[in-house]
A = this chain, B = another copy of it.
Amino acid sequence: MDKIFRVNMTDLTTKIEEVPAAWAGLGGRSLTSTIVSAEVPPTCHALSAENKLVFAPGLLTGTPAANSGRLSAGAKSPLTGGIKESNAGGTAAQMLAKLGIKALIIEGAPKGDAWYNLAVGVNGVTISEEKELLGLGNFAVIDAVEARLGKKTGVLTIGPAGELKMTAANISVKDPDSKIRSHGRGGLGAVMGSKQIKFISIDGEGAPGVKIADPEKFKIAARTFSKAILEHPVSGEGLPTYGTNVLVNILNEAGGLPTRNFTTGQFKDHDKISGETMYDTIVARGGKPKHGCHAGCIIQCSQVYHDKDGKYVTSGFEYETIWGLGADCCIDNLDDIARADNLMDDIGIDSIETAVMFGVAMEAGILNWGDSKEMLRLLTDEIGKGTALGRILGGGAGSVGRTYGVTRVPVVKNQAIPAYDPRSVKGIGVTYATSTMGADHTSGYTIATNILNVGGYVDPLKKDGQVELSRNLQIATAAVDSTGMCIFVAFPALDIPECLPALIDMINARFGIALTGDDVTNLGKYVLKTEREFNQKAGLSNVHDRLPDFFKNEPVAPHNAVWDFTDEELDEFWNF
């Protein structure tokens, strides 16, 4: 039977607990959000001992189900002030699931200045003081932990940004190549830093593995599910070939590629940073155009990007990062963006928040538009070293906006708006405004239906149908985020009739239960309502379900579109 592993950093004790009956059917996001809601006072300071950091693998994580290896991390966010769930690939989720760990809850905070590491294994968690690795970047931490504990060890770690409690700090997860995946958004690295934990190692030795109640049923459903993923043009072809960066040219064409801190919707140098260019570059330099973030991934949207000498630069090189440093900061040099991606992984800072932040910093005059050399210097010498300027930048887009008096700051609930202009792709604007997470494209990815014609088509430039589209996708996503599945399984699930039933069949076969489609929808609704209730108690009301004023006041080229939803129309989102 799965257990809850609980670590108290105030008195440095650990416990193994039974799973409460009410949590038995939950996993991933549904479990982290339930635990945070139940145990964290919504008005507490997110960096205080009262906050808790919760890791939970999904319901299907650790099984052979394709693309089920995502780990949810949850807490009260120091960036948004609301609840946060951020999920990532890497090796940790499957190791935790196979160890029978339903959730790892880290609570309290040390009274002194000492830092610690946690070692998670089949018999529980050991807390040890950590001195050697403090101040190091994430790559060095992973290397050192592997040297100490062996190549197979799982690692969750924070870089200097997390140690300094920067609100854009992320939590890094070791991937199958000993590189990095990230719980990127919402400043969870600062929460881990506030608990004075530099890294968590995971030892899979002796793990009982995941038991499947009905292996035969599971196998059939898993095959159907995999087939659907491979058959769909987005998950089976677009993503594997060009990665998420396939979107640069698509969004530029649609006029929804936010450029120069969201002043226009097209970037004249889009070709230089596009997925197609990236593919050719990777192939020419001997990198890998296809790569998975966790074992069992059959989409392989990641890649390994080399420099012109054929040496490793980065992997997990995502569209949102490339868009943010590229179009939004007017940087047309893909090599410099790749180098920045590597630095952000090493420093441990969210690449979306940071990229959007640089656009605001350019508007503030901290550096010039398109100056990638200065951007790299700021990452290395300021953010990485925690100077005063580095701390401002490491606080994200809102921090720079507040500190420099900038009024055009693309954030919702203080979290940076990613990669898709809400004026010209209105569905995603509804998601940004209403998501319990702050601006977050992954929480209801209407780009599927607004731009990619997946799950039908809703005209991105018109208001009609957008609230309903975002609502349906946010509900479905909250459920998918509970399974441990990669969000990209939504593409086949929206278009291929056998896909979603197969996913539900796998859950039923895993646990020996009989969920219906309605049950899954209800799970998604429950997650959103639980998160919203937490946010309301934390002081985030309907007033915070809004986009910044400049989206209303500034039409964006090429469509001259403005953000024209009324407050009442947006509030309709919660009518379910």
Contact = CB atoms under 8 A, between A and B. Distances in A.
Interface of A: 41, 43-45, 47-48, 50, 78, 164-167, 190, 193-194, 387-389, 391-392, 395, 399, 402-405, 407, 537-539, 541, 543-544, 546, 548-549
A43 B543 contact: yes
Interface centre among A194, A395, A407, A543 (most CB of B within 10 A): A407
Nearest to A391: B403
A134 to B, nearest CB: 15
A219 to B, nearest CB: 49
Contacts of A190: 405
Contact of A548 (B45, B78, B538): B45
Contact of A538 (B47, B167, B193, B543): B543
Given A399-B403, A538-B543, 14 more contacts: A41-B549, A44-B549, A47-B407, A164-B405, A166-B405, A387-B388, A388-B389, A388-B392, A391-B392, A391-B403, A391-B404, A539-B539, A539-B544, A541-B541
Interface centre among A193, A392, A399, A541 (most CB of B within 10 A): A392
Contacts of A44: 549
A359 to B, nearest CB: 17
7 contacts: A43-B546, A43-B549, A45-B548, A45-B549, A388-B392, A539-B543, A539-B544
Nearest to A393: B388
Contacts of A78: 405
Copies in the complex: 2
B388 A193 contact: no
A403 B399 CA distance: 8
A395 B395 CA distance: 14
B193 A405 contact: yes
A386 to B, nearest CB: 9
Contacts of A166: 405
Contacts of A45: 407, 548-549
Contacts of A48: 407, 549
Contacts of A405: 47, 78, 164-166, 190, 193-194
A50 B549 contact: yes
A61 to B, nearest CB: 32
B391 A395 contact: no
Top-9 shortest CB links A-B:
A165-B405, A388-B389, A539-B543, A388-B388, A45-B407, A48-B407, A391-B403, A47-B407, A47-B405
Contacts of A164: 405
A438 to B, nearest CB: 14
A7 to B, nearest CB: 20
A405 B167 CA distance: 8
A561 B546 CA distance: 41
A563 B44 CA distance: 15
A169 B97 CA distance: 53
Interface centre among A165, A387, A388, A541 (most CB of B within 10 A): A388
Contacts of A47: 405, 407
Nearest to A44: B549
A402 B538 contact: no
B404 A402 contact: no
A50 B550 CA distance: 11
A9 to B, nearest CB: 14
A508 B405 CA distance: 44
A402 B395 contact: yes
A153 B139 CA distance: 64
A127 to B, nearest CB: 21
Contacts of A403: 388, 391-392, 395, 399, 403
Nearest to A548: B45
Contact of A541 (B389, B539, B546): B539
A455 to B, nearest CB: 33
A63 to B, nearest CB: 39
A402 B167 contact: yes
A391 B364 CA distance: 13
B537 A543 contact: yes
A41 B388 CA distance: 34
Contacts of A538: 543
